[in-house]
Amino acid sequence: MPCPLNGPRNIAEFVYGGVVGAAPDPASVDDRAWAEYLFIESNTRGVVREWWFHAPTAYWFIAERDTATDEILKTYPASELGKASVESDA
């Protein structure tokens, strides 16, 4: 895994953190939509944008990975998420 902070490291040093997605506002969301957010998954077969954590350095970042081939296409710091080139999947 090419870690944006540490360079290429063994995959066993990383923890998977789920697909990137926006959380609904807990104050206004209804129960059904909240359940959907908590439990329901896209489980996409193809390229997805995910949170990953490098455990030894406690560093969260973003990876774009193909879930059919296990190829990691791109990794970058989470701060880049807000930028125009990357929008949310969920």
Q: Which of 28, 42, 36, 18 is nearest to 90 (CA)?
A: 42
Cα-Cα end-to-end distance for the chain? 23
Residue with tokens 């929008």: 87
Q: Does 12 bind another protein (CB under 8 A)?
A: yes
Task: Please pick, from the candidates 7, 28, 40, 85, the single residue that binds another protein as defined by CB under 8 A.
Answer: 40
Residues in contact with another protein, counted by CB under 8 A, come to a total of 19
Contact call for residues 33 and 26 (beta carbons, < 8 A) = no
Smaller CB separation from another protein, 46 or 77: 46
Q: Which residues bind another protein (CB under 8 A)?
A: 11-12, 15-16, 31-32, 35-36, 39-45, 67-70
